[in-house]
């Protein structure tokens, strides 16, 4: 065998080993994105019109929140993909601040309750200021094309009218959908990735210390005094008229 042929065979062998090494390391990198990709998630506030976000916050169209008052809202979650997935709903730290107080001043007096009928669970999160990434609806499977409904109730504690007046809390609810083949969610929900839905909560206008903290309505003191004066004047006129009729 000539030296030329020997060098050619050695070069071919080295080339084959190089190709096998490259193909063996490149194949997993190409397959990884497809295996880890998560399906999109759609949400709705009426169960009929689904989109990648809501037009308003969960409680944004319900007006003002008063002491010991509450607001309720429904959220539908849909898996629009053609493969099964796992879904989890968690709380997110709000941001921003109110005009007179920090946002946390209001969140300290808010209670959030989430009812998941499908999983038969009711989760109550008191004092949202310290809630962090609390899980609101635990992880559960959601088949391809299926829809899940959760009921959310936000309540303000029975505080006086001066507590957190004019404050505002920008609460966030995160809906995460994960491909079932990717396995379960991590223990902490802080790293979940999904659709962030705002849940605006605002208290009523400033109230005096003598306001009814249970209803948020001030006592109508001027109206009561005025009504009493009119009633007394009416009784006086009737009594005087009867006296005039009895006199000759």
Could you report the per-residue pLDDT of 172-198, keeping only the tens digit for each? 899 999 999 999 999 999 999 999 998
Q: How far apart are CA 220 and CA 215, in angstroms?
A: 13
Q: How far apart are CA 115 and CA 122, in angstroms?
A: 4
Q: Are 197 and 57 in contact (CB under 8 A)?
A: yes
Structural domain for 28, as ranges: 1-36
Q: Same domain, yes or no, for 164 and 187?
A: yes
Three-state DSSP class for residue 34: helix
Phi first, then psi: give them for residue 12, nearest 5 degrees: -65, -40
Q: Same domain, yes or no, for 12 and 57?
A: no
Q: Same domain, yes or no, for 53 and 26?
A: no
User: Average model confidence (pLDDT) for the chain?
Assistant: 73
Identify which has the larger pLDDT, 57 or 192: 192
Q: Same domain, yes or no, for 174 and 55?
A: yes
Residue 170 pLDDT = 73
Q: How far apart are CA 189 and CA 125, in angstroms?
A: 15
Q: Same domain, yes or no, for 100 and 15?
A: no
Residue 75 pLDDT = 96
Q: How far apart are CA 203 and CA 59, in angstroms?
A: 12
Residue 30 pLDDT = 27
Q: What is the domain count for the chain? A: 2
Mean pLDDT, rounded, for 6-32: 35
Q: Same domain, yes or no, for 118 and 146?
A: yes
Q: Same domain, yes or no, for 73 and 93?
A: yes
pTM metric for this prediction: 0.64
Three-state DSSP class for residue 22: helix
Q: Are 203 and 99 in contact (CB under 8 A)?
A: no
């Amino acid at each position: 065998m000539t030296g030329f042929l020997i060098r050619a065979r050695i070069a071919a062998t080295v080339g084959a080993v190089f190709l096998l090494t490259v193909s063996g390391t490149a194949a997993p990198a190409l397959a990884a994105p497809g295996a880890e990709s998560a399906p999109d998630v759609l949400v709705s506030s009426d169960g009929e019109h689904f989109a990648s976000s809501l037009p308003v916050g969960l409680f944004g169209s319900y007006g003002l929140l008063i002491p010991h008052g509450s607001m309720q809202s429904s959220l539908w979650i849909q898996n629009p993909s053609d493969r099964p997935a796992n879904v989890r709903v968690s709380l997110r730290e709000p941001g921003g601040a109110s005009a007179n107080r920090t946002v946390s001043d209001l969140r300290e007096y808010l209670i959030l309750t989430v009812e998941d009928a499908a999983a038969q669970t009711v989760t109550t999160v008191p004092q949202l200021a310290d809630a962090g990434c609390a899980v609101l609806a635990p992880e559960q499977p959601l088949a391809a094309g299926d829809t899940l409904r959760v009921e959310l109730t936000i309540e303000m504690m029975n505080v006086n009218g001066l507590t957190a007046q004019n404050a505002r809390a920008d609460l966030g609810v995160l809906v995460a959908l994960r491909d079932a083949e990717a396995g379960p969610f991590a223990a902490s929900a802080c790293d979940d990735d999904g659709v962030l839905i705002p849940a605006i909560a605002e208290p009523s206008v400033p109230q005096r210390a003598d306001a009814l903290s249970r209803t948020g309505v001030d006592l109508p003191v001027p109206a009561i005094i005025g009504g009493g004066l009119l009633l007394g004047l009416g009784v006086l006129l009737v009594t005087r008229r009867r006296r005039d009729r009895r006199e000759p």
